[in-house]
Each structure stands twice: as structure tokens, then as C-alpha cells.
């Protein structure tokens, strides 16, 4: 427990007054004939500070012992006072330095995060385009750039149709394009978690972790990809799945369709709904980071 300098100063002043009263009322304490209270305070002050002018001196042996003890106490208390004063000053300087270092680290981390997001934003934008394709029938895709988390289950009906995007080579199936862009986002999110301190941004940290967890746990790509080559009676499973999706505007109950052709689509629907909500929330949180004045101040420097 660190004691404040004011504590030792208070003891010091108390001792001056206490010894002054001792000198005043002890018989034959000094050689003075008219030893007033003011003179006793003066004598106590001169003694405790070890100045010892010699104008007032103790008379009896008891008084000499009291004077000696006051001088010793004075030296000890002054030493403790100065030590406490220095520790208080050093602690304040150390706290200021730590605060300054912490602030510089925070600003550096903020600037790095903002710079990384400029690239991440492009990756997320490509992913959102893939989400629009996945959750929108081909006839309704024109002009849509932002995914809608309120999409219907039946809106997944064209997941095996061509993407028609230049980046996809026009012919890559929508479901392949979606998982390709999802993997790109997942890789960048893993990099974000591994290389940036997100303790100051708990919403971003938790959002990214949740996104990674759900996306990994409910990845049904292998089942959906297999439908492109599996089937019977001249009909592929992907065609059967497309028909089932068109028949259900709302998402079917997963419990009622366990081990069924439509089950991977149900899991995909639920996962994509979560991903859209999460990615929009993350963009909102990142926009707050980019709006921080420190980002633009650092950039200007």
C-alpha cells in the first residue's frame, strides 16, 4: 500500500504541535523563564527540522531525551515524505508514458485496420454480388447489388444456373461462384483475427468469429456439388432439387426432411440468411471505424 505525501506531511505537522505542548507543560523543559506557547512551537519547529539555532536549549535530562526523539522523528518523517513524493511523481510520469504508448499503439492498430478494410471491402463486395445471384432468380437479378436477408426459399431455384458475371467466366454455376467468394471472405476474416488486435472492437471480433463458425459448421457444398453428377432415370439430382425449391416458397421444416434431397438446400438457406445479416452488421461496424477522425488525421500525416 502506497501512502500519499500528504499523509507524512500531516504526521510531521502533528509532531510539531505535539512536541510543542510537551515542551510547554513539562517542568523545567528549557532554561527559558518566560517559555510561552509561541516559543514552544518555535522550539519544536527548529528541533524537528534539525536547525538547532541554540537560542533555546533543553534543561532537564527528560527534556533532552524528548528533543532528541523529535529530531530523529523529524529526519525519518522527512525521508519518508520525500520518498513518497518522488514515488508519486514517478508513478504519474509512468502512467502518462504508458497512456501515450497505449494511445500510439491504438492509433497504429486503427490505421492498419482501416487500411486493411479498404481491401476487405472489395472482397466483401464481390461476396455480396455472389449472394445476390444465389438468392435471386435470374429474371430478377438486374440492377441488384445488395443482398436481402428476407429472401424466400424459392429464390434459390437458380443456384445451378450460370453466373453470367465476367469474373466467373459467364458459365460458372452460381453455387460454385458463391462458395468461391465465400472462401475468399473466410480467408480474409481468418487473417483479420490472426493479425489484428480487435479487443477495442468487440462487435467486429464477435461478428467475424460467429461468421467463421457458422459458415464452417454448415458447409454443404460437397452435397450440392455432388447433385450435378448424381441421379437416376436420366435425371440429375440437381434438377430434382431445383423443382423442390420452386415448390416451396417458404423454407420447409428441416426435421421433416432429414436425409432428403432438399436437406442441403434447407441448411444453405439458413446459413445464407445468417451470413447476410452478419455481413451487413460487420459493414456497419467497419463504417464506424472508418469514420473515426484518427483514421483521417493519421492518413494526413
Q: Based on the domain organization, do 169 and 212 belong to the same domain?
A: yes
Query: Any idea how long the chain is?
Result: 301
Q: Based on the domain organization, do 40 and 80 belong to the same domain?
A: yes
- Given a cut of 80, is residue 3 above it in pLDDT? no
Q: Based on the domain organization, do 179 and 270 belong to the same domain?
A: yes
Instruction: Give the domain-ending residue among 37, 68, 95.
Output: 95
Percent of the chain with pLDDT over 90: 47
pLDDT digits (tens, 9 = 90+) for 97-137: 888 888 888 888 888 899 999 999 999 999 999 999 999 99
Predicted confidence band at 138 (pLDDT cuts at 50, 70, 90)? confident
Q: Based on the domain organization, do 243 and 278 belong to the same domain?
A: yes
Q: Based on the domain organization, do 89 and 194 belong to the same domain?
A: no
Please indicate, yes or no, if residue 100 is contained in any of the structural domains.
no
* Predicted local confidence at residue 167, as pLDDT: 63
Q: Based on the domain organization, do 75 and 128 belong to the same domain?
A: no
pLDDT digits (tens, 9 = 90+) for 190-222: 999 999 989 889 999 999 999 999 999 999 999
- Given a cut of 50, is residue 299 above it in pLDDT? no
- Given a cut of 60, is residue 168 above it in pLDDT? no
Sign of CA dihedral 59, 61, 67, 68: positive
d(CA 144, CA 151): 13
The three-state secondary structure class of 141 is coil
Predicted confidence band at 8 (pLDDT cuts at 50, 70, 90)? confident
Please indicate, yes or no, if residue 102 is contained in any of the structural domains.
no
Q: Which residue has the higher pLDDT, 283 or 104?
A: 283
Which positions ≥6 away from 154 have C-beta within 8 Å?
A: 245, 246, 247, 248, 249
Q: Based on the domain organization, do 139 and 234 belong to the same domain?
A: yes
Q: Based on the domain organization, do 75 and 123 belong to the same domain?
A: no
* Predicted local confidence at residue 300, as pLDDT: 42
Please indicate, yes or no, if residue 50 is contained in any of the structural domains.
yes
pLDDT digits (tens, 9 = 90+) for 38-71: 888 998 899 888 887 777 888 888 888 888 998 9
Strand ranges, E, within the chain: 231-232, 235-236
Please indicate, yes or no, if residue 290 is contained in any of the structural domains.
yes
Highest mean pLDDT among 64-73, 87-96, 271-280: 271-280
C-alpha cell at 145: 447489388
Distances in whole angstroms, Cα of residue 54 to Cα of each of 188, 203, 301: 82, 74, 67
Q: Based on the domain organization, do 240 and 272 belong to the same domain?
A: yes
C-beta neighbour count of 259 within 10 angstroms: 5
Q: Based on the domain organization, do 85 and 114 belong to the same domain?
A: no
Instruction: Give the domain-ending residue among 60, 95, 130.
Output: 95
Give the structural domain span for 22: 5-95
The three-state secondary structure class of 150 is coil
Which CATH number characterizes residue 11's domain? 1.10.287.70
- Given a cut of 90, is residue 277 above it in pLDDT? yes
Domain count, the chain: 2
Q: Based on the domain organization, do 176 and 88 belong to the same domain?
A: no
Q: Based on the domain organization, do 144 and 181 belong to the same domain?
A: yes
C-beta neighbour count of 102 within 10 angstroms: 10
- Given a cut of 70, is residue 258 above it in pLDDT? no
Amino acid at each position: 500500500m502506497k501512502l500519499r505525501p500528504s499523509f507524512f506531511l500531516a504526521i510531521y505537522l502533528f509532531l510539531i504541535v505535539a512536541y510543542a505542548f510537551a515542551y510547554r507543560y513539562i517542568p523545567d523543559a528549557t532554561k527559558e523563564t518566560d517559555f510561552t506557547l509561541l516559543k514552544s512551537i518555535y522550539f519544536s519547529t527548529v528541533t524537528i527540522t534539525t536547525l538547532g539555532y541554540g537560542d533555546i536549549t533543553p534543561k532537564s535530562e527528560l527534556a533532552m531525551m524528548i528533543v532528541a526523539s523529535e529530531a530523529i522523528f523529524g529526519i525519518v518523517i522527512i525521508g519518508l515524505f520525500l520518498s513518497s513524493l518522488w514515488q508519486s511523481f514517478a508513478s504519474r510520469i509512468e502512467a502518462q508514458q504508458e497512456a501515450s504508448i497505449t494511445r500510439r499503439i491504438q492509433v497504429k492498430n486503427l490505421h492498419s485496420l482501416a487500411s486493411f478494410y479498404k481491401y476487405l471491402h472489395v472482397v466483401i463486395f464481390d461476396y455480396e454480388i455472389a449472394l445476390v445471384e444465389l438468392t435471386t432468380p435470374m429474371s430478377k437479378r438486374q440492377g441488384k447489388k445488395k443482398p436481402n436477408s428476407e429472401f424466400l426459399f424459392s429464390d434459390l431455384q437458380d443456384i445451378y444456373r450460370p453466373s453470367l458475371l465476367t469474373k466467373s467466366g459467364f458459365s460458372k454455376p452460381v453455387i460454385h461462384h458463391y462458395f468461391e467468394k465465400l472462401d475468399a471472405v473466410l480467408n480474409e476474416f481468418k487473417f483479420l483475427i490472426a493479425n489484428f488486435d480487435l479487443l477495442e472492437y468487440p462487435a467486429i471480433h464477435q461478428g467475424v468469429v460467429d461468421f467463421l463458425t457458422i459458415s464452417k459448421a454448415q458447409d454443404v457444398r460437397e452435397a450440392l456439388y455432388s447433385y450435378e453428377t448424381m441421379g437416376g432415370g436420366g435425371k440429375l439430382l440437381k434438377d430434382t432439387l431445383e423443382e423442390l425449391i420452386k415448390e416451396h416458397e417458404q423454407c420447409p421444416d428441416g426435421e421433416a426432411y432429414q436425409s432428403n434431397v432438399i436437406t442441403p438446400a434447407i441448411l444453405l438457406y439458413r446459413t445464407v440468411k445468417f451470413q447476410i445479416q452478419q455481413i451487413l452488421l460487420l459493414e456497419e461496424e467497419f463504417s464506424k471505424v472508418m469514420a473515426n477522425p484518427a483514421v483521417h488525421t493519421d492518413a494526413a500525416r
